[in-house]
Amino acid sequence: MNTLEVDVAIIGAGTAGMSAYRAALAHTRSVLVIEGGPYGTTCARVGCMPSKLLIAAAEAAHAAKHADAFGVVVDSLRIDGAAVMQRVRDERDRFVGFVTEAVDNWPAEHRLRGHARFLDGHTLQVGEHTRVAARRIVIASGSHPNVPAEWRKAAGDRLIVNDDVFAWQSLPQSVAVLGSGVIALELAQALHRLGVRVGLYGRSERVGPLTDPVLQSATRKVFAQELPMRLGASDLHLQRVGNEVAVRVGDEDAAAEQRYEWILAASGRPPNLQALGLQQSGLPLDTRGVPLFDPGTGQIADSHVFIAGDA
C-alpha cells in the first residue's frame, strides 16, 4: 500500500476539479487530483460543449427555414443527419483533446488514478493501491443522469440519456424527451429543429429553471408554440412495442398514446456521492446523504472539506 501526504486532495478531474487544482496551486505545490474515470470533463464530452454544437446546427436549419422573411428563398431544405452528428463528434473530440492535453501536462506527482473513498475526515483510500492523508479535501466528483428503474425496465435498450445522444451516427426519426429542465429543453428544441419528431413530457407544470411565475407562464407559451409538450405528466406509462416505445399519460386510452424510436431520460442529475464513504468522514449530511455546505464558499460546515461543481 502506497501512502501519500498532501496539503490539498481533489476528488475528480472534471471542470470543477480542474478549477480547484488551479486555485490550490496559488497557495501550495502539494496538490493531488484523484480521478477514477476518463479525463475530459462532462462539459466537454457529453454536456455543454457538444449540446451547443447540436444547437448551432439546429439554429442554422431554423434560420434557413425562415429566411424568406428577409427575401432569401431556400427552395429545398435538406438536413443531412449523418453530417450533423459527424461534425458534433469531431468538434467534441477536439474539445476533449484540449482538456486531456491540459491534464497530461500537469506534473505526474499531481495526478492519481483510482476511485477515492473516505476512511476518516483526513484520509482517503484510492483504489486498493494508495492511502492519501490530506490537510484539505475538495469533493468535485460530478453527477450522473437520473433514470427511474421503471423507465429502464419498460423501455430497455430504447432508453438513452443525454450522454448517449452525442454518440449517434445520424439523427433518429423520433424521440420522446422525459423532463422539462435545461438539458431536456435544449435537446428537445435542437432535435425538433433538425427534423426529428419530438414529444416533451414534464412531470410538473414547470419549464426550465425560472422561478418567477410570470416568467414561467411566458416560457411555457414560447416553448409550446414550437414543441409538442405534455406538462403535468407525472403518471407516465411506457411500453416497449417492437423497436419503438409507446408513451401514454395517466388513464388515457390506447388511441392517445404516441410511439417513439427513442426515449431520452432528461430528468435531472444527482451527485456522484454514494461511493465516497461520506459516513466515515464525520461530515454533516442531509437526508439524501449530501454534505451540508455553504453555497457561497463550498465549505462543508466549518470543516477542512469543500464541495464544488455538479456534486
pLDDT of residue 79: 96
pLDDT of residue 44: 87
Report phi then psi at 305, rounded to 5.
Answer: -110, 140
Q: Give the bridge partners for 9, in sequence order.
A: 32, 137
pLDDT of residue 39: 87
Q: How many CA atoms lie within 13 A of 120 on its CB side?
A: 3
List, in order, residues 6 or more apart from 263 with CB less than 8 Å away. Answer: 151, 155, 158, 159, 160, 175, 176, 178, 238, 245, 247
pLDDT of residue 7: 98
pLDDT of residue 296: 95
Q: What is the pLDDT of residues 199-220, one digit of tens each?
A: 999 999 999 999 999 999 999 9
Q: What is the pLDDT of residues 53-65, one digit of tens each?
A: 999 999 999 999 9
User: Burial of 51 by CB count in 10 Å (0-12 exposed, 13-18 middle, 19+ buried)?
Assistant: buried
Please, are residues 167 and 37 in contact by the beta-carbon 8 Å criterion? no
pLDDT of residue 75: 87
pLDDT of residue 12: 97
Mean pLDDT by 10 residues, the chain (311 residues): 96 96 97 93 89 96 94 92 97 94 95 97 97 98 94 96 94 97 95 97 93 95 94 93 94 87 94 96 94 97 96 94
pLDDT of residue 40: 84
Please, are residues 223 and 181 in contact by the beta-carbon 8 Å criterion? no
Q: All 3 cell numbers of residue 307?
A: 464541495
Spell out the domains of the chain, with CATH numbers in brackets: 2-37+114-144+270-307 (3.50.50.60), 149-265 (3.50.50.60)
